[in-house]
Every structure is written in structure tokens, then in C-alpha cells.
Chains A and B, each alone.
Chain A
Amino acid sequence: MVDLPKKKAGIVACSGEEIPEGTVSRMAALKVLHELRRGDTVTICLPLFLAGGEGDRAFASVNPTITIDGCSRRCAAIGTEKYSARPAVSVVVTDLMESEQLPRPLGRRRLDAAGERVANKVAQVVAELVDEVLGRPAPKESVRPADDHEHEAIVGSCSCGSGIPVLRLTLDGEEYELIAVPAIFDQLAAAGRVADRSVMAELMEQVKIYNSLTVGIEAGLSERLLDEFRLHLERRGKR
């Protein structure tokens, strides 16, 4: 596996409009994103994700996700697994309310006091899960400040805003955005690999870990990636 930029957890809330617990899921997600684990989390927009947002789906395929669902229908968890990868953890608000004996929230538009209490509890649980899935110790303070460097522009990063380096190329008239390829090139270069056919199988194997390739493009793509790797080595040599 390659060294990718700082890993973050993706938070996917169902935001279910019909029930207060859907609003709880949304408010809890926003609390984690903006307050409790700012800098360690990103929001994944479920409607966009379900509608085919490639960036969000790509992010969720290489980063751990935590889904927050308002009810046992688990739309966020099922949608995440269906369109990207199985969530690292799935939290269901109604389950947590039962296990923690929390009051029933009211007010899907504006949460009542009980709803805010439930949202705070869900957010606290999710914040702890973020630490767990990222393998990091909990912060000493309850609020983790944003990393000052996290918003630096990364040329050729994934359109989902995750900072994952990508290689964009056109092959047979089709445009592709291949996740993590620059990092894979760096790793192969650091290992002393040269741009000849001996590296092709390993290169493709690594690329396929992070990218779902259309059937039939592999042959053309492997040749093209070998060329790109050659250019990458040349550029490194000039630096």
C-alpha cells in the first residue's frame, strides 16, 4: 500500500427528512465535523453520493466511513456499502437511544431539548469512533483543532477534496481520474524500480486496489501507465 495524505474519516448522515431522528443524525454529523473532530473528518453528501457523485464515492472507497442513520432502515449505511465500500462503523440513532436510555426527540425541523441531548450523545459516540477508525488517541481537549496545513492546495488531488493525489489522463477518448497513482509512482521509484515491463504487473495491481477499472481497458491502460511512470521518473531525476 502507498502512503496517501493524512487519512480522514468520512461521516455520512442519512439526514432523513421525515423523522426527528433524521435531523438528529444530521446535527450530530455536523457537530463532529465542525467541532469535535475538525480536521480529522469530512462530510460526505449522501444525496450526491447516491446520485453518482464520483468524488465522494472515491473518497469512501479509500477512507474509513462512519454512517449515522436515524432509523433501522439504515439508508446511509446501505447506500454507502452499495455504492462504495462497507462503512467502518454504522451508528443507528434509535439503537443508541435505546441502549443509553435517551429521551425520544421531537421536532424534525428544530430539535427540542431532548433531541439536542440525543444529538450531542450521538456526536460524542461518533467522535470516539473517529479516533478508533483512524487509529489515533483521543485528543486531550474535547475539541480537536483543524490542522493548519490541511487546506494547502494539492495539485492533481481528487475532486472530492480529500487531498488524495490523482492522475488524470485520456485514453481512447475517455477521461479517467485514477486515485493514488502519483503516490504509487513515488513508492515504486523509492524502491528503485525502473520504467520497464518488469514493473507493469505490480503497477497495475497497486492501481487496481484504489480504482475500479472498466473491463477491457487494462491492456491499454497498463501501457499508458508505464509511459506515465517513465515521465514521472524523468521529472524526479530533474529535481
Chain B
Amino acid sequence: MSGEERKVIVMPCSGIGKSYGAISREAAYEVVDELRPNTTRLVALSLLVLGDEERRAAVSRDPVIAIDGCPKLCAATMAEKSGAGRITRVSVLDVQKRHRELKPQGIAQLNEDGLRMARILAAEVAGIVDQEELKTRKGGDR
């Protein structure tokens, strides 16, 4: 990761105990690999928390979208503790509330409802990325 590269940071919690953690991860990859590959990047949460200087500098400088799979909000909390200045908090559970028809299951392999939920979430995150880009451009920050 280059120190000069400035992109919106997408940070999923990747919780391993429930489907919602897997959905946060899947949605993050959908955004970074497919929907907004040129304007976003992933930062590994554990690396950030354990003090990686490059990641810390990135989150303190660039907007962060934290995607959490449970009410503990680990990704958002740790982004904040690690010095992130501009954090947008996104919760998988909010998507579940709006789409009660979806019954996600699986962790290693999400079922079709889980993948659908991840795609819905990813589209929302992509929208936030665009807003962040706009804010940054308006602010002449880039």
C-alpha cells in the first residue's frame, strides 16, 4: 500500500462467529473489487489495531467506512481508537431490519440470502463512497 495513494477505506469487522460477520466481509470485497475498485481500498482491521503505522496514517487521513456485523461495532470502535478522523458506520443488522425476508446462513460459505444481503449492503456502501469522494473534491482535499 503506497503512502501516496489516497482512497476511501472500507473496513469490515469480518467477525467469524456469525453469518453477519461474513456478510460484512463479502460486502467489503464487492465494493473494493467490483463496484468502486479505483476509489476504495481495504485495511485489515487486526493490522490496524496492532499499530501498523502505514494503516494508522491512512485512516487518520482518509475517510473510513466501517462495516459491522453485530451491535458490538468492533470495526467502527477500533477505527476510532486507531485515530480515524472521518468514520461512516454501517451495520449489517440495519440491512437485515429493512430486509426481513432474507435469512442469511453460513459463514465459510454464505447461502444465497446472505450473498444477496451482502450485495444490498455493498450498493449502499458504494453510495457512501461516492458521497465521500464528492466531499473530498469539494474540500479540495485531494
Question: In the complex, which of the residues B13, B28, B33, B52 contacts A47, with contact meaning CB atoms closer than 8 Å?
Answer: B13
User: How many angstroms between the C-alpha atoms of A34 and B108 in the bound complex?
Assistant: 10
Among residues of A, the one whose C-beta sits closest to the C-beta of B76 is A51
Q: By the criterion CB–CB under 8 Å, are B74 and A50 in contact?
A: yes
Does chain B have a CB within 8 A of A236?
Answer: no
The smallest beta-carbon distance between B34 and chain A, in angstroms, is 9
Segment at the A interface, from B39-47, B96-104, B124-132: B39-47
Does chain A have a CB within 8 A of B25?
Answer: yes
- Count of chain A residues with Cβ under 8 Å from any Cβ of B? 30
Among residues of B, the one whose C-beta sits closest to the C-beta of A75 is B46
Q: How large is the interface on B (under 10, 10 to 19, 20 to 34, 35 or more residues)?
A: 20 to 34
The smallest beta-carbon distance between B27 and chain A, in angstroms, is 11
Knowing that A14-B46, A51-B78 touch, tell me 11 more A-B residue pairs with CB under 8 angstroms. Answer: A13-B16, A15-B14, A15-B46, A17-B42, A26-B108, A34-B108, A43-B16, A43-B17, A53-B72, A73-B52, A79-B50
Q: Could you write out 17 A-B pairs with CB less than 8 Å apart?
A: A14-B44, A16-B46, A17-B28, A18-B42, A18-B47, A19-B44, A27-B108, A43-B17, A45-B21, A47-B75, A50-B45, A50-B46, A51-B77, A73-B47, A75-B46, A76-B46, A79-B46
Binding site for B on A (CB under 8 A): 13-19, 22, 26-27, 29-31, 34, 43, 45-48, 50-51, 53, 73, 75-76, 78-79, 82, 108-109
